[in-house]
Amino acid sequence: MESGFCGADIRAAFSRRVKETSQTTTSRKKGRMEYKDYYKILGVDKQADEKAIKKAYRDLARRYHPDRNPGDNSAEEKFKEINEAYEVIGNAENRAKYDQLGSNYHRYQQMGGAPGGFDYGQWGGYGNAQTFNFEDLNGLFGGGASMGGDGGFSDFFRTFFSGGRGSRVNAQPLHRDLEQEIEISLDEAYHGTTRVLVSEDGSRIKAAIPKGARTGTKIRLRGRGIEGGDLYLIVKVLTHPVFKRQGNNLHSTVAVDHLTAILGGQVKVPTMRGPVNLKIPAGTQSGRKFRLSGRGMPHLKRADEFGDLLVTVEIHVPTTLSEEERALYKQLAELSTTGGT
């Protein structure tokens, strides 16, 4: 993103402006511009890589999001500040400019320069740019209003990273995508569901979560991000007390009593569509798996296709026996030792 007042035509216009106002500028009160430490705002080191910066931004954005802090003006301002910081150091080109600006800006102030002015000739790559006072930009581009605050971005940002108040040459849109995590149950992931979100302006947004959604699935809401960007809902499917999901397959464990395991029979097995009977062959061992085709999760992009349910048998042995049962088991043990089975 290039600063909009650095082109040759802008410099030429500015040069004319400097000549016209050279006598009045010196008597004007110098405007003060607060330097923004975007690294400090995001809580990252200046050597942090892109991944660390993005993680810090996401964590802070979630923490201070207006939806999580309704009516908290300080959280709202912090949220705007976080987004502004990421707009700069989360973009490689903007970050390079910011790093270059930072060292020169502080050096300029340390040398006793007016805090409202900056010599772009010392900021690499801008050739014969003029030294000017920020207040001059309003007059240069035909306006008298302040440059600050518009759209929630600071004066510092709009001056250096959005082309200045009046720039019409290289100004870039400030839109940016946002991400928001949403939690759904496994049942909701199976049947599909909706979520109603409330935006900062109070409007309600209805988002459809498709069948087969899994942790990490992204739901795109066009135009619901910052300045026309998109909002992505990141799905997190909560754990289920019965089923464990692996891809489109589900896994569960079913308890089978020892007699059914020995003699064979049927047991009821829970599925996402209700219980079904599972045939247990005689002599079934603990740990044996049975596959129930089509009883898993629906495919995300082919909702009429389903994965499988894999059921693991867990044989339960009684811990207490009546006297009669104990006597019968002893008889069975004797038969076993004499080769009766």
Residues 157 and 33 in one domain: yes
pLDDT at 4 over 90: no
Q: What is the mean pLDDT of residues 195-205?
A: 78
In a domain, 99, yes or no: yes
Residues 197 and 279 in one domain: no
In a domain, 325, yes or no: yes
In a domain, 67, yes or no: yes
- Assign residue 43 a region (left: φ > 0; alpha: ψ between -120 and 50; beta: otherwise): left
| pLDDT tens readout for residues 261-285 | 999 999 999 999 999 999 999 999 9
Which residues neighbour 219 within 8 Å (Cβ) at sequence distance 6 or greater?
Answer: 182, 207, 208, 209, 213, 232, 233, 235
In a domain, 123, yes or no: yes
Residues 192 and 298: their CA atoms lie apart, in Å, by 10
Residues 232 and 84: their CA atoms lie apart, in Å, by 19
Residues 297 and 219 in one domain: no
Residues 204 and 250 in one domain: no
Residues 22 and 73 in one domain: yes
| DSSP helix/strand/coil, 329 | helix
pLDDT at 247 over 70: yes
Q: Which of residues 106, 126, 161 is at a domain's end?
A: 161
Read out DSSP for 116-149? TEEEGGGSTT-TTPPEEETTHHHHHTT--S--SS
Residues 202 and 307 in one domain: no
CATH of the domain at 214: 2.60.260.20
How distant is the alpha carbon of residue 31 from its chain centre? 38
| pLDDT tens readout for residues 316-334 | 988 888 999 888 888 888 8
Closest by alpha carbon to 104, among 87, 74, 124, 127? 124
Number of compact structural domains in the chain? 3
9 burial type by CB count under 10 A (0-12 exposed, 13-18 middle, 19+ buried): exposed
Residues 24 and 56 in one domain: yes
Q: What is the mean pLDDT of residues 152-168?
A: 61
Look at 294 and 102; give whichever has higher pLDDT: 294
Looking at residue 201, its pLDDT comes to 67
- What is the phi/psi pair of residue 161, to 5°? -125, 0
Low-confidence winner among 18-27, 267-276, 307-316 (lowest mean pLDDT) = 18-27
Range of the structural domain that residue 296 is part of: 244-336
Residues 324 and 253 in one domain: yes
pLDDT at 77 over 50: yes
CATH of the domain at 80: 1.10.287.110
- Cα angle: 72, vertex 153, 130; to 5 degrees: 155
Where would I find the H helices in the chain?
8-25, 38-42, 50-64, 73-89, 92-110, 136-140, 155-161, 186-191, 258-263, 323-337
In a domain, 173, yes or no: no
